[in-house]
């Protein structure tokens, strides 16, 4: 008996759905949340790998769907697949600036 996970079209559909969710999800709390990056927080695909690594190594990812998607983003970044997020960045107007702009001299 074939399971859905063994069907390549099902797997492709699942991945596409997760990427759509990743594109629309912003960090809802913490250093990269709406309090510091109004109005919505940083898109999770633009979170620094070091920040996501902290969850992986020390804190543990949040429970639920957010934690799962953060784990997916982290794994993609660690695996060198960060460029998969470039179309999302283009649609959003570019990479999220995580540092304040520096003043020219």
Q: Which helix (H) or strand (E) holds 34?
A: none
Query: What are 64's two structure tokens?
Result: 């639920």
CA–CA separation, 20 and 69 (whole Å): 11
Tens-digit pLDDT profile for residues 78-94: 999 999 999 999 999 99
Segments forming the whole domain that contains residue 71 = 28-92
Rounded to the nearest 10 degrees, the angle between the axes of helix 8-24 and helix 64-78 is 100
With respect to residue 56, please indicate whether it lies within any of the assigned structural domains.
Answer: yes
Residue whose C-alpha is closest to residue 52's, from 34, 38, 73, 33: 73
With respect to residue 6, please indicate whether it lies within any of the assigned structural domains.
Answer: no
With respect to residue 98, please indicate whether it lies within any of the assigned structural domains.
Answer: no
With respect to residue 78, please indicate whether it lies within any of the assigned structural domains.
Answer: yes
pLDDT at 4 over 80: no
With respect to residue 22, please indicate whether it lies within any of the assigned structural domains.
Answer: no
pLDDT mean across residues, the chain = 92
What percentage of the chain exceeds 90 in pLDDT? 78
* Residue whose token pair is 């460029």: 83
Q: What's the gap between Cα 91 and its chain centre?
A: 15
Tens-digit pLDDT profile for residues 26-54: 999 999 999 999 999 999 999 999 999 99
């Amino acid at each position: 008996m074939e399971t859905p996970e063994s069907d390549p079209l099902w797997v492709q559909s699942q991945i596409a759905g997760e990427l759509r969710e990743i594109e629309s999800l912003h960090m809802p709390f913490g250093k990269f949340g709406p309090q510091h990056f109004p109005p919505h927080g940083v898109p999770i695909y633009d979170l620094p790998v070091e920040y996501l690594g902290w969850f992986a190594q020390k804190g543990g990812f949040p429970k639920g769907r957010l934690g799962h998607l953060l784990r997916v983003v982290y794994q993609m970044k660690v695996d060198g697949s960060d460029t998969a997020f470039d179309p999302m960045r283009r649609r959003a107007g570019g990479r999220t600036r995580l540092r304040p702009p520096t003043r020219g001299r």
